[in-house]
Amino acid sequence: MRVTTAAINFKDATTPDRAVRIHTSAQATTEQISASATPQALSVQDVHVRFGGVAALAGASLAVQTGVICGLIGPNGAGKTTLFNCVSGLTAIDSGRIAIAGYRIDDLPAHARARLGVSRTFQNLGLYQEMSVLENVMLGGHAEIGGGLLAAALRLPGLARHERRVRERALMALDEIGIAAFADAIAGTLPYGTMKRVELARALMARPKLLLLDEPAGGLAHGEIEEFAELVRTLRHRYVLTIVLVEHHMKFVMALCDHVVVLHLGATLAQGRPDDVRHDPRVIAAYLGAAR
């Protein structure tokens, strides 16, 4: 059965009630929809990507239900970052299929995917080091400027209003992530763990529905990891997010994630509940043997 636009059950963080209503009315008009027919927030099917002689992805598949926190794990070079690049639109796939909320996105440009709610952070930080924290975070909200450069050139009054709103939202996001005190600091001068949080605040500014976090706990001290897991849980509820995160810190992944996917040599080795994945002999042999 074809699922209509109205059946997307991503909820807009700004108007959650409206999103729920849309979903309910869609269910009423498309009788066949059952709970199991709800489209997955993210579906990756048999994706292949080659870089010259290197097969970065060679049969990567995963299915993430809406509202879930999914851990994407695997040894270095397994293809985790490449998979994020394929979902967010930075890397084109050679074959396979990627869909969000039941809609195929693998031939859409990155900005169109961002508009559909795909937002991400980068393994090696994508911040402007010389700009302030607040300026970096505000950049995440600029995709929504309606008039764009033309409005800016004409100095339309709406633009100043928009700028003010983006600034207020950025300050709120910084506050929520616990780094409001650094708003005026130059991004490049901050500790790595704090810069990771700045990126997270910026990713939230795009009003994401699907948030991809590439090694977000990098640079955190041992004692900060549990606090960070709590922050991710809070953000999931507060912003009504589906989250996929890459992380090597196994305790963090197993305690935080509802679903875990293991990539190995570009292919999906296993996926399922954290406990099942942790005890899967193939996963232990390929990866967890050392990391557990």
Among 123, 131, 156, 163, binds Mg ion (CB under 5 A): 123
Q: Quick one: what does residue 78 bind among Mg ion, ligand ADP, none, with the CB cut-off 5 to 8 Å set by partner type?
A: ligand ADP
Least gap, CB of 144 to Mg ion (angstroms): 29
The count of other CB atoms within 10 Å of the CB of residue 253 is: 24
What are the structure tokens assigned to 280, written together? 């899967």
* Residue 17 C-beta-side C-alpha neighbours within 13 Å: 0
Using CB under 6 A as the binding rule, whether residue 56 contacts ligand ADP is answered as yes
Q: Quick one: what does residue 74 bind among ligand ADP, Mg ion, none, with the CB cut-off 5 to 8 Å set by partner type?
A: ligand ADP
Which candidate, 193, 201, 195, 194, places its Cα nearest to that of 175? 201
Among 27, 43, 81, 194, binds Mg ion (CB under 5 A): 81
Q: Please, which residues bridge with residue 243 across strands?
A: 69, 211
Site for ligand ADP in 65-124 (CB under 6 A): 74, 76-82
Using CB under 6 A as the binding rule, whether residue 268 contacts ligand ADP is answered as no
Q: In angstroms, rounded to a whole number, what is the distance separating the alpha carbons of residues 233 and 231?
A: 5
How many degrees, rounded to 5, is the angle at CA 240 between CA 206 and CA 158?
35
Contact 241, 211 (CB under 8 A): yes
Using CB under 6 A as the binding rule, whether residue 126 contacts ligand ADP is answered as no
Given the DSSP bridges, would you call strands 103-104 and 267-272 parallel, antiparallel or unpaired?
Answer: unpaired
Least gap, CB of 124 to Mg ion (angstroms): 9
For ligand ADP, the closer of residues 36 and 76 by Cβ is: 76
For ligand ADP, the closer of residues 84 and 182 by Cβ is: 84
Binding site for ligand ADP (CB under 6 A): 51, 54, 56, 74, 76-82
